[in-house]
Structure 1
């Protein structure tokens, strides 16, 4: 989006506009049917037109009610997911910092470890840090040695397991 709004907000607005249009149509049909019934009370039973109009209006009103309930459900779910993501993001940062302190990583090693956990390649880390790939490899070897891990997969797995509430048993050297 070029205006900085979230795609979910655009969808919510579109659904609300659709519901407003449907509400206007339902009000129009309901007004029309009421007017027809008031001017000719027998028109309800004289042909399919009036019954079809009433059924269509009731269907439109039911659709609006369903869309409203569904939108509320989606908004609640979105809020729940955003809260969970925020908690997980903060928790991951806290877990990482805790391990980095425990392993006594230097600031440069902690920086490389963070990029590694985010999934960056050695070349990407070197570019982001403005250093040589050999330097990044040296930092990674020091991280794995201090942590007692054998590689990137174990490092990421350790943090994920910690977030999920369990410890991995692969910490043997």
Structure 2
């Protein structure tokens, strides 16, 4: 899981600060009522404190709800990214198998699809740039493409055509899916 965003940290700090303020105001209002009785609720000093306390409680409740919504959304996006990454990996492996790429070619193809340069790939693999170029030419020939852009496009297009999730746990159609007809 990724670290919390600065927005989440800021919102959590604000909630904590406001909660401390709420506790202070509640204690002060209770002290005023104990000292002067319930008639003090209509007092010019106690009424604004009571209103501020209610406002702070409502604000804290709203912020907690908003923070929880942010955290749920972040978790959902992380799950979707994981599914997409897994799907891309699966599509890549299927193509690599179909093209009968060697393990070295698979490695270089994966780095190429991720956008690394020939020099970077050579550095990662501890090989010469000429060796990486030779492997890339073999990959392009086996894949029936002319370059990096077509290789990446081939995989992305295949990924976009297929749904990321085979089926849902509830057996229903995904949102916006048309019913079989």
TM range (shorter): 0.7 to 0.9
Identify which of 37, 40, 43 aligns with 2:40.
43
State how 1:1-173 maps to structure 2 within 5 Å. Answer: 6-8=2-4, 15-16=11-12, 18-40=14-36, 41-47=38-44, 49-165=45-161
Describe the superposition over 1:80-135 as per-residue Cα deviations: whole angstroms up to 9, x where unpaired. 11111111111111110100011111111111101101111011111111111111
- Aligned residues between the structures: 161
Q: Distance in 2 between matches of 1:113 and 1:10?
A: 36
* TM-score normalised per structure 1: 0.81
**Which residue of structure 2 aligns with residue 171 of structure 1?**
none
C-alpha root-mean-square deviation of aligned residues, in Å?
2.3
Q: Which runs of 5+ in 1 are unaligned?
A: 167-173
Structure 1 segments of 4+ aligned residues over 4 angstroms from their partners: 9-18
* TM-score normalised per structure 2: 0.78
